[in-house]
Chains A and B, each alone.
Chain A
Amino acid sequence: MSWVYPAVLAGCFVATLPLELVLRARVYARPRRLLATLAPVLVVFLGWDALAVHAGHWHYRHLLGLRVGNLPVEELAFFVVVPVCSVLTLEAVRRRRPGWRVGDEEP
């Protein structure tokens, strides 16, 4: 059992918090849009992960042993934390470069 994996994910979460709180990325402030974004991504990547583990492409060692359903909690957390950090980064770029269009601006 190792706390390294959860600690790394927690580090990602904490390191990107200032983007929301200081730079006002407004990602956690739009929870419905965030959940609607995460849902299809989770379906695709948890599916990929399950197939890859089944096919023997990779396997995990030293997991905490906590599971959500049949899923190790680290895997679920990874596919939530990484997308959230990505969205925070995009929104932070938008805040710093207001002239750059992202594609969702009002017509």
Chain B
Amino acid sequence: MTYTGAALLGLAFAVALDLVVLRTNLLRRKAFWTAYAIVLGFQLVVNAVLTGQRLVVYSPGAILGPRLLYAPVEDLAFGFSLVLQTLAWWVWWGRRANSRRATSRRTSQARPNPAAASDTRRRLPTDTRRSSTR
């Protein structure tokens, strides 16, 4: 397989992770595309240095040929896949922690436990404190 093929596979893998596996649906969110646009700008600069200085060298047989600021176009798919996979996992872990917290709060409200009553005063500030995972 060429880098071109691998880059397309990496792109498809990231899209599937976001939309199907983790269902984070970042691809449908303005916040993601805004963050990606910012990262892309810096990626082009960093990539230009690394490939322009020939610190990373690509085999001509593995790429299509067109380059953007020294870097092969395949790097766009590679970078997009890296950013999307990272952010999908970040949001997934955060969503998991937040929904667990919400569930445990609902259960403790639904079934008031007399033993926990003395604990109420100590527990109250937790709800008003900034969440540690959000």
Q: Mostly helix, strand, loop or mixed at chain A's interface?
A: helix
CA distance A86 to B39 in the complex (A): 6
A-B residue pair count with CB separations less than 8 angstroms:
145
Report how many residues on chain A are interfacial, defined by Cβ distance under 8 Å.
47
Judge whether B44 is part of the interface by a CB distance below 8 angstroms: no
- If over half of B's interface residues share one DSSP class (helix, strand or loop), that class is named, otherwise mixed; here it is helix
Residues in B105-134 with C-beta less than 8 Å from chain A: 131-134
User: Is B73's beta carbon under 8 Å from chain A?
Assistant: no
Return the contact of B89 from the options A15, A36, A57, A100 (Cβ within 8 A).
Answer: A36
Query: Other than the known A82-B86, A102-B32, A107-B102, what 12 A-B pairs have Cβ atoms closer than 8 Å?
Result: A4-B49, A5-B55, A8-B46, A44-B85, A58-B62, A89-B38, A100-B34, A102-B26, A102-B31, A104-B91, A104-B93, A105-B98
Point out residues on B near A: beta carbons under 8 Å. 1-3, 6, 10, 13, 24-26, 29-32, 34-35, 38-39, 42-43, 46, 49-50, 53-59, 61-63, 82-83, 85-87, 89-95, 97-99, 101-102, 131-134
A residues adjacent to B (C-beta < 8 A): 2, 4-5, 8, 12, 15, 30, 33-34, 36-38, 40-41, 44-45, 48, 51-52, 55-62, 79, 82-83, 85-87, 89-90, 92-94, 97, 100-107
